[in-house]
Amino acid sequence: MTSRLCAHMNSATRKSGGWDILQFRVEGPDELIGGRKLDLVPTPSAATIWIDGREYTQYTPLIPIESKRLPIPADRTRD
């Protein structure tokens, strides 16, 4: 489901004026906790942007997004 959300967000940002500078990636590395992966990572799309004096590139996450499906379906267990 995360990959579907990622595809939707990429399509939505491409078609929205001013938001086309963003791209979304699935399972990006967490810079703060080694070995951990973030479910969804928005980054600048082939550009460098500055926010409050901090540089963000296409390799720098803007904000970490964890995604969970709630409630967990009765026929599945949480892994």
pLDDT digits (tens, 9 = 90+) for 38-58: 778 888 887 788 989 989 888
Q: Determine the 3-state secondary structure of 15 from DSSP.
A: helix
Mean pLDDT of the chain: 80
Q: Rounded to two decimals, what is the model's pTM?
A: 0.66
Dihedral sign (CA 52, 61, 25, 43):
positive
